[in-house]
């Protein structure tokens, strides 16, 4: 598959993705990409986020490929257990947020997430019903590489180690993220038409 063959649903994490974030750049440059908008980006509720992802997928006219970052990855793991089979063709998951250990996260824009209270924890560990790639960094303050490896294993995702890449966002220097574009293109080429 190519980008023109699919509906790319951008699933940002907590507080959304700012204008320089690679997800926002992809949304602007990939013609078939659109953001899954959430009602509340700073006080996330898992059920509401999952509902919006499912709604966006069901309304799509082409095969759906999810592109999730951070807390969006946890939302996709929850959504995968509820969406009817066949609505999602694949998921490109980047810098997962370890919601089960949210108390160890650094403060984010003056906010602290309670994984259990928001409904994101515990994160589902069931195999995802669609092909997926999980890109993880060895220096991500929101999820250690060992935990990312365990998540990829549980979900049946192919793990791609990004090295010393922080949270793979604008703050870690991943605005354009050309390596991500190449990796995403490679992932798309593996999906059945």
CATH of the domain at 142: 3.40.50.1820
Q: What percent of the chain has pLDDT over 70?
A: 96
Euclidean distance between CA atoms 57 and 23, whole angstroms: 18
Sign of the dihedral defined by the CA atoms of residues 52, 53, 55, 56, in that order: positive
97: CB partners within 8 A, 6+ apart: 13, 14, 70, 71, 73, 74, 105, 120, 142, 143
Contact criterion met (CB below 8 Å) for 171 and 109? no
134: CB partners within 8 A, 6+ apart: 73, 93, 94, 96, 148, 151, 152, 155, 157, 158, 159, 160
Q: What 3-state class would DSSP assign to 159?
A: strand
pLDDT of residue 104: 84
pLDDT of residue 124: 97
Q: pLDDT by residue (tens digit) across 86-125?
A: 899 999 999 999 999 988 887 766 666 776 778 999 999 9
Q: What mean pLDDT, rounded, does the chain reach?
A: 93
pLDDT of residue 174: 84
pLDDT of residue 165: 95
Contact criterion met (CB below 8 Å) for 128 and 155? yes
C-alpha angle 184-46-111 in degrees, rounded to nearest 5? 90
pLDDT of residue 103: 85
Whether 184 has a pLDDT exceeding 80, the answer reads yes
Nearest to 159 by CA among 89, 73, 81: 73
**What is the band of 13 on the pLDDT scale with cuts at 50, 70, 90?**
very high
Q: What is the pTM of this model?
A: 0.95
Number of domains in the chain: 1
Q: Which two tokens stand for residue 60?
A: 């799509």
pLDDT of residue 68: 98
| Mean pLDDT of all residues in 128-141 | 97
Cα distances (angstroms) measured from residue 191 to each of 54, 91, 132: 20, 10, 10
Euclidean distance between CA atoms 27 and 117, whole angstroms: 30
| Mean pLDDT of all residues in 20-31 | 95
Euclidean distance between CA atoms 69 and 96, whole angstroms: 6
Q: Which domain holds residue 85?
A: 3-190
| Mean pLDDT of all residues in 41-51 | 94
| Mean pLDDT of all residues in 66-76 | 97
Q: What 3-state class would DSSP assign to 166?
A: coil
| Mean pLDDT of all residues in 171-179 | 86
């Amino acid at each position: 598959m190519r980008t023109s063959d699919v509906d790319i649903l951008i699933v940002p994490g907590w507080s959304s993705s700012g204008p320089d974030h690679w997800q926002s750049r992809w949304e602007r440059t990939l013609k078939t990409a659109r953001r899954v908008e959430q009602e509340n980006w700073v006080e996330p509720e898992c059920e509401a986020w999952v509902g919006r992802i499912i709604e966006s997928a069901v309304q799509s006219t082409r095969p759906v490929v999810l592109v999730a970052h951070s807390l969006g990855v946890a939302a996709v793991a929850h959504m995968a257990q509820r969406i009817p089979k066949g609505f999602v063709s694949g998921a490109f998951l980047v810098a997962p947020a370890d919601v089960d250990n949210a108390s160890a996260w650094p403060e984010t824009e003056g906010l602290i997430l309670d994984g259990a209270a928001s409904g994101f924890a515990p994160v589902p560990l069931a195999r995802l019903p669609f092909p997926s790639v999980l890109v993880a960094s060895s220096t991500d303050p929101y999820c250690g590489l060992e935990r990312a490896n365990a998540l990829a294993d549980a979900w049946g995702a192919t793990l791609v180690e990004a090295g010393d890449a922080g949270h793979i966002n604008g703050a870690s220097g991943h605005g354009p993220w050309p390596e991500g574009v190449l990796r995403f293109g490679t992932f798309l080429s593996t999906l059945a038409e």
